[in-house]
Amino acid sequence: MAFQPPRIVITGIGLTAPNGNSLAEYRQNLLNGVSGVQKMDVRYMGECLAGICDFDALKYQKRKEVRVGTRAGSISIYCAREAVTDSGVDWDNVTKDRVGVYVGTTEHGNVETENEIYAISKFDYDTKFWSHYHNPRTVANNPAGEVSLNLGITGPAYAIGAACAAGNLGLIHATQMLRLGEVDFAICGGVSESIHTFGIFAGFKSQGALATHEDPTKASRPFDQDRNGIVVSEGGALYTLERLEDAQKRGAKIYGEIAGYRVNSDASDYVLPNPTRQAECVRQALTAAGIAPVDIHIVNTHATATPQGDIQECGALREVFGEGCPDTHINNTKSFIGHSMGAAGALELAGNLPSFDDLTVHPSINCDNLDPQCDLPGLVLNKPRKVEKVDAILNNSFGMLGINSTLIVKRFAA
Amino acid sequence: MTKEETKQIVLDIIADVAPDEDLTNVKPDVRLRDQLELDSMDFLDIVMELRKRHNIEVPEAEYPELASLDSCADYLTPKFEELGK
């Protein structure tokens, strides 16, 4: 008999999104059409549009820890603590060296480096004014390391660098580590502090991919004919994952089960997506999950509202799901919260998990004139849709340098 | 610049470096690390802020001079005076 890897389940969720600091608040806003995008003054650039989070960092950190650490660290700590609490695990009695922390990030260190360069610019660029905190703030493992410090976790804690696929990668990597028996309890997902670096705004602007709109809440408009680019956002979503056996032993509530996943690479361009590889990624994830396209009830798209990227993902999805999947509903969460980069995959999955219970698919908002090239069957636009059943959710997240990820979560059934 | 003024400058810096600490009853003759939660990185911050805010350099060999508020006052007040403060 073939090796059956342990089943992995989601038992806790902690998040901060531009439109909510808990799963309940976030979900409510996704169903009510509430955007989290607003105007923000960005250094050197002036007014830009961004998804800004307003969680209380001091809920779990001292003021000094906030000062010494990073925004990504604070987001991670908030999400990790909320997830652990939500999981209901008896944290004091968890063996801390058997806990793994796997935090997906698009990038890390740009914010802190830009801040230091700005600071020394006030001193004629004399490097003796450069902070001794620069290195601990900018190491790639910083967000995960801050979680380990805050929660006293002595198991493996590191970041997964995977561009905008990173949120999914956090969950996927945790699944693998739990299956390998490397850890018994995982805190995983993705975070982003990217709105605090002007570089990401300037880079997208130079690329012609930074969204503008007189109404910030309308700026992120995937699939709309008039979409004009990305809204950069911060945020995070971290999950607690456990082997099913362990979760059941302690009577944990179970949000869903990791059914299958796939990560692949375009190997074709630094920036431009590749729909052939995206379709391969989706198909291979379905194969890994043992689920047919017709049995996926929600597809959460990666679409960032760039003119080309949306069309290409829709092409990939059309190839996989075609016309023969009447119960497959397709949505997009970035239309509410913008593109939260390393957090995107994790936050977008979280926004859809409650559908297992409320049988409602949150829509993609801001689509006033649907681009015919994005006109997929099953697209849920502007209003939530009540559906017959939601047994499997497929979550796409793609990133620069051609990294693609698809994660499938299914309704838990013992 | 009086020694009391120097002590206040140091306390103002500590208030920013260690914002969770209660500084209302800091004893001037007791080592700062013995009465406040300050680590070596915090002392580097104090040195950095003296440099940034007041253009005062504290060489590494002389960091022990910053042990208490009194020793800070003894060590830093002449430096402020040299700068015409």
Q: What is the DSSP string of A205-246?
A: HHTT-B---SSGGGS--TTBTT---BPEE-EEEEEEEEEHHH
- Quote the number of domains for chain A: 2
Residues A196, A280, single domain; the answer is: no
In a domain, A357, yes or no: yes
A2-6, A7-11, A12-16, A358-362: the lowest-pLDDT one: A2-6
Residue from the list B17, B19, B52 with its beta carbon closest to the beta carbon of A129: B52
B19 vs A: CB within 8 A: yes
Inter-chain contact A132–B18, Cβ cutoff 8 Å? no
What is the Cα gyration radius of chain A?
A: 20
Whether pLDDT at A255 is above 80: yes
**Tokens coding A218:** 């309308």
The residue behind tokens 């009391």 is B4
Q: How confident is the model at residue A1 (pLDDT cuts 50, 70, 90)?
A: low
The predicted pLDDT at position A4 comes to 86
Q: Is residue A254 part of a domain?
A: no
Confidence of residue A67 (pLDDT cuts 50, 70, 90): very high
Reply yes or no on whether the pLDDT at A97 is more than 70. yes
Domain match, A288 and A332 both: yes
Residue A2 has pLDDT above 80, yes or no: no
Distance CA A370, CA A375 (A): 7
Together in a domain, A264 and A235: no
Chain A residues with CB inside 8 Å of B51's CB? 128-129
Examine residue A17 and state whether it is found in any structural domain, yes or no. yes
pLDDT-derived band of residue A140, with 50, 70 and 90 as boundaries? very high
- What local confidence, expressed as pLDDT, does residue B85 receive? 76
Q: Are residues A226 and A272 in the same domain?
A: no
Sign of the dihedral through C-alpha A37, A39, A43, A46: positive
Mean pLDDT of A264-289: 97
Instruction: Label residue A218 by pLDDT band (50, 70, 90).
Output: very high
Give the residue from A189, A217, A249 where a domain finishes.
A249
What ranges do the domains of chain B cover?
3-82
Is residue A285 included in any domain, yes or no?
yes
Q: Is residue A155 part of a domain?
A: yes
Full residue range of the structural domain in which residue A376 is found: 259-410
B3-19 per-position pLDDT tens digit: 999 999 999 999 999 99
Same-domain check for residues A179 and A103:
yes
Residues A233 and A267 in one domain: no
> Cβ contacts (< 8 Å) between B44 and chain A: which residues?
132
Q: Domain containing A154 — which CATH number?
A: 3.40.47.10
- Co-location of A155 and A209 in the same domain: yes
Block residue for tokens 């002595």? A154
- pLDDT grade for A414, boundaries at 50, 70 and 90: confident
Q: Just give the CATH number of B3-82.
A: 1.10.1200.10
- Are A313 and A233 members of one domain? no
Please check whether residues A240 and A125 belong to one and the same domain.
Answer: yes
Token digits for A409?
């979560």
What integer best gives the mean pLDDT of chain A? 97
A1 within a domain of the structure (yes/no)? no
Last residue of a domain, one of A197, A219, A249: A249
Quote the pTM value: 0.97
